[in-house]
């Protein structure tokens, strides 16, 4: 099985060493960087950041985008704007990058973990419903954890590896419990569910433009919202909460230095002109891997396929081993990396990370099973170009 998989992967990506996710950068990026340099407006002052925000909002199909230094800062600001306060708990899937939990901690709140469903790799709404029924009580539109006495303020569904979580289901359960929904769409630029883009289901959504994302601004992130008041508040909070008052600036709250610089916005804006091609390339890469697996008759492992009713950007291509074959995970990781192709397991689960072991958690058997069985393989949008 391992030689079969190695051969299948190699027949798609060739024999050269390759990283997990390298960006596609070229003439457009060069031109836009030289333009912003020429203008002198390399910091967040100037028109470059607004331009990127408008292009982003238009592509995503949302009224407002607010660009930030990275996805973590966007998530932190989104949680604050959604009303998360010190002492609250915030629900999130057990399987995500550490930043999802960290952003909750920055608010003085406690992460509270939920299980995922294998079909989407995102929060399982049915399990969330049952779990909340067993551990919380809801009255006057507020939900309280009966074991800790703390308010459960919000839920942060994550679109894992770019695949759409069942966010309609999550929104429904959240609505019944008075929870705010902040979509961690860091990995999901270009992904849709029922034609609606990731990050547009909750009150606020969050994107990332880190170097390993489908579109990169070097480092960067964004908040997405249809609510003009929230968008204004996001711009204010991420720009040190500054208000002009005659010649003086007052800061009417403890704000953050989270605005994206123009230099990074120019790169992001250039990258965004490629988005349709980048998504198409990544979807084509999935089909190529899947075809090679099928042609070789690989047994005991499959390529993870976008959930029904969704269109995924296939951010990270994922091999999912059968339960019976999960013991070969590390051997397969070795074989792929020794061939020069960067391959990684899924993140260690958040409730098993040292800062979060004592946090409340639902039983997370599916998340545990997926981590034992998942391997991400080279996924860059330039691989098949």
170 vs 266 by CB, closer to its own copies:
266
The angle that helices 167-176 and 125-135 make with each other, rounded to 10 degrees, is 20
Quick note: the x/- pattern for its own copies over 29-58, rule CB under 8 A, is xx--xx--xx-xxxxxx-------------
Q: Closest approach of Cβ 215 to its own copies, in Å?
A: 11
290 vs 367 by CB, closer to its own copies:
367
75 vs 171 by CB, closer to its own copies:
75
24 vs 173 by CB, closer to its own copies:
24
Position among 83, 228, 253, 363 found at the interface with its own copies (CB under 8 A): 253
**Using CB under 8 A, which residues numbered 312 to 341 contact its own copies?**
330, 333
Determine the interface stretch with its own copies among 156-164, 173-181, 256-264, 305-313 (rule: CB under 8 A). 256-264
Contact 77, 256 (CB under 8 A): yes
**Rounded to whole angstroms, how far apart are CA atoms 352 and 127?**
20
Q: How many residues bind its own copies (CB under 8 A)?
A: 62
DSSP H helices in the chain: 2-13, 27-39, 48-60, 71-81, 98-106, 125-135, 167-176, 228-237, 262-272, 275-295, 329-338, 365-373
- Residue 143, beta-bridge partner list: 138, 152
Name the residue among 337, 348, 350, 347 with its Cα closest to residue 378.
337
- Residue 182, beta-bridge partner list: 204
Residue 194 interacts with its own copies (CB under 8 A)? no
34 vs 385 by CB, closer to its own copies:
34
CA torsion through residues 141, 147, 153, 155, sign: negative
**Using CB under 8 A, which residues numbered 70 to 89 contact its own copies?**
70-73
Residue 256 interacts with its own copies (CB under 8 A)? yes
Q: Closest approach of Cβ 44 to its own copies, in Å?
A: 7
134 vs 247 by CB, closer to its own copies:
247
191 vs 217 by CB, closer to its own copies:
217
**Rounded to whole angstroms, how far apart are CA atoms 99 and 90?**
14
Residue 261 interacts with its own copies (CB under 8 A)? yes
Place of tokens 């390993």: 212
30 vs 137 by CB, closer to its own copies:
30
**Using CB under 8 A, which residues numbered 212 to 251 contact its own copies?**
212, 216-219, 240-242, 246-251
- Residue 123, beta-bridge partner list: 116
150 vs 372 by CB, closer to its own copies:
372
**Rounded to whole angstroms, how far apart are CA atoms 126 and 131?**
9
Residue 376 interacts with its own copies (CB under 8 A)? no
Determine the interface stretch with its own copies among 10-18, 159-167, 301-309, 342-350 (rule: CB under 8 A). 342-350
Position among 172, 252, 277, 295 found at the interface with its own copies (CB under 8 A): 252
Q: Which residues contact 181 (CB under 8 A, 6 or more apart)?
A: 154, 155, 156, 157, 167, 170, 171, 174, 201, 202, 203
Q: Which residues contact 12 (CB under 8 A, 6 or more apart)?
A: 285, 288, 289, 292, 383, 384
Quick note: the x/- pattern for its own copies over 91-130, rule CB under 8 A, is -------xx--x--x-------------------------
Contact 263, 204 (CB under 8 A): no
146 vs 348 by CB, closer to its own copies:
348
**Using CB under 8 A, which residues numbered 5 to 34 contact its own copies?**
22-23, 25, 29-30, 33-34
Name the residue among 345, 346, 354, 356 with its Cα closest to residue 113.
356
| Strands of 123-261, DSSP E | 136-139, 142-145, 151-155, 180-184, 192-193, 196-197, 204-208, 221-225, 242-245, 248-251
DSSP, res 64: E
Which residues are at the interface with its own copies (CB under 8 A)?
22-23, 25, 29-30, 33-34, 37-38, 40-45, 69-73, 98-99, 102, 105, 210-212, 216-219, 240-242, 246-257, 259-264, 267, 330, 333, 344-345, 347-348, 353-355
């Amino acid at each position: 099985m391992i030689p079969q998989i190695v051969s299948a992967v190699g027949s798609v990506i060739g024999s050269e060493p390759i990283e997990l996710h390298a960006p596609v950068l070229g003439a457009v990026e060069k031109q836009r960087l030289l333009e912003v340099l020429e203008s002198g407006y390399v910091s967040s002052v100037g028109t470059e950041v607004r331009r990127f925000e408008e292009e982003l909002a238009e592509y995503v199909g949302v009224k407002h985008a607010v660009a930030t230094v990275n996805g973590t800062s966007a998530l932190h600001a989104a949680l604050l704007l959604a009303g998360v306060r010190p002492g609250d708990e915030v629900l999130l899937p057990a399987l995500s990058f550490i930043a999802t939990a960290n952003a909750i901690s920055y608010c003085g709140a406690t992460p509270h973990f939920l299980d995922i469903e294998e079909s989407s790799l995102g929060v399982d709404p049915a399990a969330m419903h049952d779990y909340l029924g067993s551990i919380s009580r809801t009255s006057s539109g507020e939900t309280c954890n009966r074991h800790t006495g703390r308010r459960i303020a919000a839920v942060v569904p994550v679109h894992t590896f770019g695949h759409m979580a069942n966010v309609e289901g999550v929104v429904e359960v959240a609505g019944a419990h008075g929870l705010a929904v902040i979509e961690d769409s860091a990995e999901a630029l270009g992904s849709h569910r029922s034609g609606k883009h990731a990050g547009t289901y909750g009150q606020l959504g969050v994107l990332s433009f880190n170097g390993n994302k489908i579109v990169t601004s070097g480092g960067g992130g964004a908040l997405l919202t249809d609510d003009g008041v929230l968008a204004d508040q996001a711009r204010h909070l991420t720009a040190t909460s500054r208000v002009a008052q005659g010649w003086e600036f007052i800061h009417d709250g403890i704000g953050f230095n989270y605005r994206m610089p123009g230099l990074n916005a120019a790169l992001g804006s250039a990258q965004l002109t490629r988005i349709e091609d980048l998504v198409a390339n990544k979807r084509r890469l999935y089909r190529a891997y899947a075809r090679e697996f099928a042609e070789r008759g690989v047994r005991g492992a499959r390529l993870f396929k976008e959930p029904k009713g969704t269109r995924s950007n296939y951010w990270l291509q994922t091999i999912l081993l059968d339960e019976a074959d999960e013991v070969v995970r590390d051997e397969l990781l070795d074989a792929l990396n020794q061939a020069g192709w960067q391959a990684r397991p899924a993140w260690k689960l958040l409730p098993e990370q040292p800062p979060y072991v004592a946090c409340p958690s639902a039983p997370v058997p599916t998340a545990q099973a997926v981590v034992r069985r998942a391997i991400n393989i080279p996924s860059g949008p330039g691989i098949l170009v």
